[in-house]
Structure 1
Amino acid sequence: MAPLVTGLPPVFPAPCHLLVLGSLPGNRSLAAQQYYAHPQNQFWRLMERVTGDSLQGLAYDDRLGVLARHRIGLWDVIATARRASSLDGDIQQAVRNPLATLITELPDLRAVACNGALAARLAMRELAASELPLLALPSSSPAYTLNFAAKADRWQALAAYLAPPVA
């Protein structure tokens, strides 16, 4: 039987205008206790394009600080699951995070973005009754082979939900 893995705690500023949801952090991210820790994951490069701020050369806490200045939060749709590898296709017995409850606790939320197909499918089920825009984005994972420019074009839609950064 595949090992049971538990996701990372949510990271969101107050106020939070945009929530980016992944499926479940990969093994490298879980070991580091950092979202998108795999060096080949394109998340931080994509968010550089969205925010206009440099992120790749920063320490993890500083990256989170930049996201907070732009009022961007991070979490995942899956709280725990059995998984033999970092691939979404290996996820079994998933237990979801309470997204519907969460969005009621984030009154300034303007949109929810889903990083990858599994995150989008599960979030859309959980948040179907919500009136928030739900954006399905191509995965930032290196396993998803769409070229970076095409991913960046799609991710640029997030910029419409950002407020001017807090100083």
Structure 2
Amino acid sequence: MAAKKETEYITHAFEPVFDSHSKILMLGTMPSPKSRENGFYYGHPRNRFWKVIADVCKEPIPETIEEKKALALKHGIAIWDVLAGCEIHGADDASIKNPTPNDMHRILDYAPIEQIYATGTKAAQLYRRYCEAQTGMEIIQLPSTSPANCRTSYEQLYEAYAGIRLYLRSDIHDKRRKSQPFNSIFKK
């Protein structure tokens, strides 16, 4: 007889990453134990999220939390999770019970989000069930970057995540963000 997996109620422990220039919102389910230990999103050393985002943005792979935040914000990427809390066994999304969704308006009322992406199947399912009605925005499901998703090659991840390029900040947006008047960008 197999032992029953123990679950514990986990509360999301860190803040979302976004600002008034964020154009896309990347949503996971809940931070993994390793991410909670490290205090930031996609914190498992074998998780491929930061590598694929850096490659799609044509930037060096960020190492520190501050570098990760800077990369995301520079390119108009907001990062959060669908859930504020749930019962979960380790990092097993399939074990999620009693979920409490985050209020997406915390970001959507502040940032001009044009598209929402789920970083995995369970995040997309939970968003559709608990958040889509409140936001009125559909979600695009991307493959999970988790080390548990070994079926998806890095090349397949890159191709899937390359779709976010449409919403990434251009050089013009970067210049504008540095408080330069918009019309001065076009003066020669």
TM-score (norm 1): 0.90
**1:53 aligned to 2:59?**
yes
User: Identity of aligned pairs, percent?
Assistant: 25
Is the contact made by 1:70 and 1:162 (CA closer than 8 Å) also made in structure 2?
yes
1:107-128 residue CA offsets vs partner (Å, 9 max, x unmatched): 5111111100011112223225
Deviation at 1:134, TM superposition (A): 2.3
Instruction: Please give the secondary structure, in 2, of the residue aligned with 1:89.
Output: strand
Tell me how many residue pairs correspond in the alignment: 165
- In structure 2, list runs of 5 or more residues that go unmatched: 1-5, 176-188
Is the contact made by 2:74 and 2:169 (CA closer than 8 Å) also made in structure 1?
no
User: Structure with the greater relative contact order (CA < 8 A, sep ≥ 6): 1 or 2?
Assistant: 1
Structure-1 separation of matches of 2:132 and 2:92: 24
1:65-90 residue CA offsets vs partner (Å, 9 max, x unmatched): 11111111110001101112111112
Determine the structure 1 residue equivalent to 2:30: 24
Is the contact made by 2:27 and 2:123 (CA closer than 8 Å) also made in structure 1?
yes
**1:155 aligned to 2:155?**
no
Structure-1 separation of matches of 2:138 and 2:55: 20
Distance 1:103 1:67, change over 3 A: closer
Structure-1 separation of matches of 2:128 and 2:44: 26
**Structure 2 letter corresponding to 1:118:** K
Structure-1 separation of matches of 2:162 and 2:137: 18
**Structure 2 letter corresponding to 1:48:** A
Structure-1 separation of matches of 2:106 and 2:59: 27
Q: Structure 1 residue runs of 4+, over 6 Å off?
A: none
CA RMSD after TM alignment: 1.8
Distance 1:104 1:37, change over 3 A: closer
Structure-2 separation of matches of 1:6 and 1:129: 21
Distance 1:61 1:103, change over 3 A: closer
Is the contact made by 1:15 and 1:106 (CA closer than 8 Å) also made in structure 2?
no
Determine the structure 2 residue equivalent to 1:115: 119
Determine the structure 2 residue equivalent to 1:5: 10
Larger radius of gyration: 2
Out of 47-56 and 113-122, give the one that drifted further: 47-56
Determine the structure 2 residue equivalent to 1:35: 41
Determine the structure 1 residue equivalent to 2:141: 136
Is the contact made by 2:8 and 2:87 (CA closer than 8 Å) also made in structure 1?
yes
Structure-1 separation of matches of 2:29 and 2:61: 22
- In structure 1, list runs of 5 or more residues that go unmatched: none
Deviation at 1:131, TM superposition (A): 5.6
**Structure 1 letter corresponding to 2:32:** G
Determine the structure 1 residue equivalent to 2:100: 95
